[in-house]
Amino acid sequence: MLVAGLGLLTWGAFLVMQATTKNWVERDLTLRARLAVNGASHILAEGLRAEKPAELKTVLTNLVRDERILGVSACAPDGQLVATAGVAPVDFGCLQVTPFVFPKGAPLGSPPLEWEHVAGIRGGRAHLNGLAVMDESGPAGLVILVHDLSFAERRDAEGRNLLLVAFFLLSLCAALVTIIAVRLSWRSWTQRLRRMLKGDEETDEFRPLLRDVRALVDEIMTERDADGEGGAWTADRLKQALRRNLHGEKIVIVSNREPYIHERQSDGSIRVLHPASGLVTALEPVMRACSGVWVAHGSGTADRDVVDAHARVMVPPGEALYPLRRVWFTEEQEKGYYYGFSNEGLWPLCHVAHTRPIFRTSDWIHYGEVNQKFADAVCDEAEIEDPIVLIQDYHLALAPRMIREKLPRATVIGFWHIPWPNADRFGICPWREEILDGMLGASMLGFHTQGHCNNFMDSVDRYLESRIDREKQAVVQLGRSTQIRPYPISLEWPVRWLKDLPPVPECRRGVFEELGLSEDALLGVGVDRLDYTKGIEERLQAVERLLELRPELLGRFVFVQLAAPSRTAIDRYRVLNESVEAIAKRVNDRFGSGSYRPIILKRAHHEPPTVFRYYRAADLCYVSSLDDGMNLVAKEFVAAREDEKGVLVLSQFTGAARELTESLVVNPYDLDQSAEAMAAALMMPIEEQRARLRSMRAYVAEFNIYRWAGRMLRDAARLRRRDRLSGRLNDQYSARFTGAES
């Protein structure tokens, strides 16, 4: 910036100097021309009046001896050339110049004018002057002098070079002075910082930094094991952390989606399914590691048949590690709460995916009724007056406040699994104040990214009467604080579904045999619910564009989309289903031949072992979400690739893109960019694939779901201790005050 400023300053100085020098030169040449003509005016006048060309030639030749005068011409008053010496101007002769010096119609007795002009001549540029020759009788004629301007151009070049040298030296000096000043300032700053860290000095300037350093040290220390040694977060370590921080107390997880669904088969048997849900993928390992209860909606056709009188069933089947408490809805409540307000209203409101949110008063009423059902179930399951409750996602925005009203000392943690929109977009919701107030019943609110936290606090600031403490990232209402924190969600590590799967080469051979692919085929995979926010239409169009740009892949590259049907009762999802099928058919009709189909669409529910087999078999995995909170498919693919082969192509609009930076990050709306990224993935050398996957696997292993839960529950335990201490102090104060009155 400094050098650029000096450069602009130098360039401006050069332009000013050039214009000034030009004016000086022109005035100097005009003055020299006057002196030359005035010095020989008597002889020139006699020669012009007597029309003696020979005598004029001699005078003009003497004038040309000046090294800067290239030529001189003498003209009669009527514009006829009388004599010339040296170089005569080509385009400006006597007839052209005379009208300027002796203009027609000039008042009688008025003095003649002077004429000057810069013109090009052979060999360069020249300055021309036209001057009148006068005697006692009046004007005898005029003289045109041609001055050489090459000396002025040389002077400009010398000035320019001088300025460049000056600029270089000035920049060098400025850089040296800046470096010295920065070094001295940095030395002083670091010395003061060291004194501050030692406790010898503390100023307002460094207080925020000191607070952050202390918070970081505190976080590192609290994440250590019980024996004081750090280590990877595992299920056992999470259990130890819970025993240490929560003394082994149970936690209550609340979500609309249940971790296990009991479905009645056509033969009358009951099958247990795992829902296609990132929420369940993340939280189920936490419940396995913790003691507690999971409260969720019973959506399976056989869910009522397997529960006890308290609507409970022990899960997982065959292991019975924790109870699942099911909540029942009426058909009208499910339609209004789940399909209506949650997924036609809040879901498109929070995702920038160009689908208009729909809000109905009847849906809002059902949403409130169902949230109350969940809150009542939580209070029934709570064994103490201050339990820790984890409320999950947008289906239950009102539940924190409802639970707080019945259990005022509960530590309620709300986690929002989808993006939180900016304040302007959130303002579309007719019940925005009620939703914000319901969420602020929580002690803590977690989001995937800091950007989502900022959007939420901006929304509260815009629509509610509250105090926003941005330094502590908290919202304060009526003296009660709700902390707002980013907790990027992740997977268990290692993923339990992988232990029973065959090695990667066997998975690849098995999948290729199922699909009828040759050994040298290239396989891409996508795994999603059929949801418009996942960018499945754009993904298949990118495959089509890839085959257009890289025809050598025809017959060899196949993309498999595992698409679990979702929310088929909503029109937008039915339209999406038809659109995805139409795009796949068009691409296959256009590029397919014989048994070759470039797109294989598998629209069905797939259990986790099947999904992970496809991850292991693929050469690339493309996640093309148009807007996503985190997206765990990306992390699942990374976790599945123990062979450190394969490439992840990842949408920039996912939370995972901020963490898995070694993936090929694309804009899914840009079909050319997405197609080129897939082509680059298919041609990427094995060494580069391994380097990228090794880095991403290390990140997912370190920041796994146990660390996510441990951090959140540790923060909750800290809040709980604070609230308990505050409660005891209030009780002591009340008792003392009551005793004093009596």
Query: Which range, 70-74, 280-284, 543-547, 719-723, is most confident?
Result: 543-547
How many angstroms separate the CA atoms of 333 and 368, rounded? 10
First to last CA, the chain: 75
Res. 229 pLDDT band, cuts 50 70 90: very low
| CA-closest candidate to residue 612, choices 596, 633, 631, 629 | 633
The two most distant CA atoms of the chain are separated, in Å, by: 139
**How much is the mean pLDDT over the chain?**
86
What pLDDT, on the 0 to 100 scale, is given for residue 228? 45
How many angstroms separate the CA atoms of 712 and 715, rounded? 5
pLDDT over 70 (residue 386): yes
| Residue with the larger pLDDT of the pair 700 and 178 | 700
What pLDDT, on the 0 to 100 scale, is given for residue 225? 44
| Residue with the larger pLDDT of the pair 696 and 70 | 696
**Residue 594: what residue type?**
G
3-state secondary structure 40-65: CHHHHHHHHHHCCHHHHHHHHHHHHC
pLDDT over 50 (residue 731): yes
538-564: pLDDT as tens digits: 999 999 999 999 999 999 999 999 999
* Token pair 């390992």: residue: 285
How many angstroms separate the CA atoms of 141 and 147, rounded? 20
What pLDDT, on the 0 to 100 scale, is given for residue 122? 63
Q: Over range 45-74, report the average pLDDT.
A: 77
**Which regions of the chain carry the CATH code 3.40.50.2000?**
243-330+368-486, 515-703
Please give the CATH topology (third level) of the domain spanning 243-330+368-486. Answer: Rossmann fold (3.40.50)
Beta-sheet strand order (sheet of 138-148)? 81-86, 69-75, 138-148, 124-135, 115-121
**Which regions of the chain carry the CATH code 3.30.450.20?**
2-148
Q: Over range 666-676, report the average pLDDT.
A: 97
* Token pair 């990374």: residue: 638
3-state secondary structure 133-192: EEECCEEEEEEEEEEECHHHHHHHHHHHHHHHHHHHHHHHHHHHHHHHHHHHHHHHHHHH
Name all contacts of 503-512 with Cβ < 8 Å and 24+ positions apart: 504/616, 504/617, 504/641, 504/642, 504/643, 504/645, 507/613, 507/616, 507/617, 508/616, 508/617, 510/613, 510/617, 511/613, 511/614, 511/616, 511/617, 512/617
- Collapsed DSSP state (helix, strand, coil) of residue 339: helix
| Residue with the larger pLDDT of the pair 80 and 608 | 608
| Residue with the larger pLDDT of the pair 425 and 185 | 425
Contact present, 524 and 556 (Cβ < 8 Å): no
Contact present, 56 and 83 (Cβ < 8 Å): yes
Contact present, 710 and 223 (Cβ < 8 Å): yes
Please give the structure tokens belonging to residue 442.
Answer: 């929580």
| Residue with the larger pLDDT of the pair 257 and 287 | 257
317-333: pLDDT as tens digits: 888 889 999 999 999 99
How many angstroms separate the CA atoms of 294 and 308, rounded? 15
Q: Over range 37-50, report the average pLDDT.
A: 76
| CA-closest candidate to residue 409, choices 382, 376, 439, 448 | 382
Q: Over range 679-686, report the average pLDDT.
A: 97
DSSP 8-state secondary structure symbol assigned to residue 93: -
How many angstroms separate the CA atoms of 692 and 649, rounded? 12
Q: Over range 149-168, report the average pLDDT.
A: 72
517-542: pLDDT as tens digits: 999 999 999 999 999 999 999 999 99
How many angstroms separate the CA atoms of 476 and 442, rounded? 11
How many angstroms separate the CA atoms of 331 and 194, rounded? 66
What pLDDT, on the 0 to 100 scale, is given for residue 220? 53
Cα separation values, 355 from 232, 538, 630, 654, Å:
42, 15, 20, 18
Q: Helix 278-289 crosses helix 235-246 at what angle (to 10 degrees)?
A: 70
How many angstroms separate the CA atoms of 473 and 298, rounded? 36
Q: Length of the chain in residues, anyone? A: 742
DSSP 8-state secondary structure symbol assigned to residue 394: G
What pLDDT, on the 0 to 100 scale, is given for residue 201? 60
How many angstroms separate the CA atoms of 497 and 512, rounded? 20
Top-tier CATH class for 515-703: alpha beta
| Residue with the larger pLDDT of the pair 733 and 138 | 138
Beta strand pairing call for 292-297 and 664-666? unpaired
Res. 400 pLDDT band, cuts 50 70 90: very high
**Residue 675: what residue type?**
A
How many angstroms separate the CA atoms of 670 and 619, rounded? 22
Strand partners, 135: 138
| Residue with the larger pLDDT of the pair 155 and 286 | 286
Res. 718 pLDDT band, cuts 50 70 90: confident
569-619: pLDDT as tens digits: 899 999 999 999 999 999 999 999 989 999 999 999 899 999 999 999 999
What homologous superfamily is domain 2-148 in, according to CATH? Answer: PAS domain (3.30.450.20)
What pLDDT, on the 0 to 100 scale, is given for residue 441? 96
